[in-house]
Amino acid sequence: MTQAPTTHDSAGLAPTAALCEFVAGLSFTQIPPRVIQVAKRLMIDWIGCTLAGKDARPALIIEEFARSMGPAEGPSTILTSRRGSSPYFAAMANAAASHVVEQDDVHNGSVFHPGTVVFPAVVALAEARGSSGQEILVACIAGYEVGIRVGEFLGRTHYTVFHTTGTAGTLAAAAAAGKLLGLNAAGLNHALGSAGTQAAGLWEFLRDAADSKQLHTAKAAANGLMAAELARRGFRGAARILEGSQGMAAGMSTDADPGRLTAGLGSRWATEETSFKWYASCRHTHPAAEALSVLMSREGLHADDLQEVSAHVHQGAIDVLGPVTTPSSIHQAKFSMGTVLGLIAVHGSADVEGFERHALSDERVARVRAKVRMQLDPQIDALYPHRWVGRVSVRTHDGRSLEARVDEPKGDPGNTLTTDELESKAIRLARFRNAATDEEMRQLIQRIWNLGNAPGALQLLPRITGRT
């Protein structure tokens, strides 16, 4: 039977302190079973995304750095190579790998990818500590609840310059790691203070196809873990790192709302609001991609029928996708609205294989890309970020003007993946770079479904020793 969450009288507490009180008092029995189940689904999704990052150049470089700077062996597993390392460097490498193929989860309202920073920190620590399955799930949910609220608190102006997954993600990882370490409210507050002062991540990398996005997640997970471990040892962090006069909001936002940090703690479970990504591209492309897919199927269109394509979008999509005109790498192509819609129009999908094979080399995709324009839609912008609505309009060569709209793209909580779709996605992603066999993935997925009953000694995949 689920117990009611412990309530804390937050009167007189700063928002950061109130968040820490909530996390410190959170227990497995206080979390509704449906939220526990969502956390397991999110973990399965994260595993697939991480394994799909195997052999990706940015992830390999970060892993090489981890091997050269960290121990030759350790209690925590770098999943893509199955090498042992320290929790710090395993978290770093796994977080980088899980953000490569752009299919990791996202929370709409905070515009934040929680899984890619929370799970690497928790899993790496849990392996080293022999944590139980229940401890792992509670820590992950704590990280989601904190990180999502920090992202919402920082607001839309933050996201125009800062990659929220790098900034709010550092605090999410710190909260999750701190919970797993058993920090009390004061210790968690110190951990968040040390995490917040390290939080970073700028969007400028989009303009020249730099590798910064994987660095953002790598450092967010590792720095959050470090902040928690420092706090465990007595290291002090700023008490009001979020709302203080020289804290994160003061330097990173003009529309921050401290009330969002504590609203609904213990009654609203932000974890279950998280979306799964169906397409292997920036989330801002998904609504338009789905709307175009609906339109072409409904009207029986082919790519050559399209003369002009308008994607009606929110301002955030323009801010993030606008700098990418002609992509020069597969990862940059995932931030090109024209390329994503070109893949949908020509190949009917925008999955990892499609990007690998067609995003840069298929002339038919390039022709569609040249016909795509993004157009700010005030109605859609007013709904963002809580709702990500897709609307496209096209003109065809035979003179027709056609339109389609999708109010809830596939993967959103109200249109979520079925269990079969979720498991198949994870298996398919693991297969993408031969990071795990289908049978290994089926066994791993079953272990995650049973995680609440696991006493300890977590091992997601068997180690491979003696690799060079």
**pLDDT per position as a tens digit, 147-203:** 999 999 999 999 999 999 999 999 999 999 999 999 999 999 999 999 999 999 999
**pLDDT number for residue 467:** 43
Burial of 434 (0-12, 13-18, 19+ CB in 10 A): exposed
Percent of the chain surpassing pLDDT 90: 93
pLDDT at 1 over 50: no
**pLDDT number for residue 11:** 56
**CA distances, 105 to each of 116, 169, 197, 421 (Å):** 8, 13, 25, 14
Kindly report, residue by residue over 88-105, the tens digit of the pLDDT. 999 999 999 999 999 999
pLDDT at 2 over 60: no
Q: Give the confidence band of 3 by pLDDT, cuts at 50, 70, 90.
A: very low
As a whole number of angstroms, the distance between CA 455 and CA 74 comes to: 21
**Mean pLDDT of the region 430-437:** 96
Burial of 200 (0-12, 13-18, 19+ CB in 10 A): middle
Locate the domains of the chain by residue range.
15-273, 283-409
**pLDDT number for residue 17:** 97
Nearest Cα residue to 371 out of 303, 288, 284? 303
Other CB atoms within 10 A of residue 375 CB: 13
pLDDT at 428 over 60: yes
Q: Give the confidence band of 32 by pLDDT, cuts at 50, 70, 90.
A: very high
Kindly report, residue by residue over 361-383, the tens digit of the pLDDT. 999 999 999 999 999 999 999 99
- Contact (CB, 8 A) for 16 and 243: yes
pLDDT at 210 over 90: yes
Kindly report, residue by residue over 378-390, the tens digit of the pLDDT. 999 999 999 999 9
pLDDT at 459 over 80: no
Confidence (pTM): 0.94
Q: Give the confidence band of 454 by pLDDT, cuts at 50, 70, 90.
A: confident
For the chain, the straight-line distance linking the first and the last C-alpha, in angstroms and rounded, comes to: 50
Tell me which residue has tokens 């030759």.
Answer: 72
pLDDT at 9 over 50: no
**pLDDT number for residue 362:** 97
pLDDT at 8 over 80: no
As a whole number of angstroms, the distance between CA 293 and CA 371 comes to: 16
Q: Give the confidence band of 140 by pLDDT, cuts at 50, 70, 90.
A: very high
Please state which CATH class domain 15-273 belongs to: mainly alpha
What does the mean pLDDT of the chain come to?
95
**Mean pLDDT of the region 24-37:** 98
Q: What is the largest CA-CA distance in the chain?
A: 71
- Contact (CB, 8 A) for 113 and 151: no
Q: Which residues contact 284 (CB under 8 A, 6 or more apart)?
A: 313, 314, 316, 317, 320, 321, 337, 388
Nearest Cα residue to 367 out of 395, 397, 392, 345? 345
Please state which CATH class domain 283-409 belongs to: alpha beta
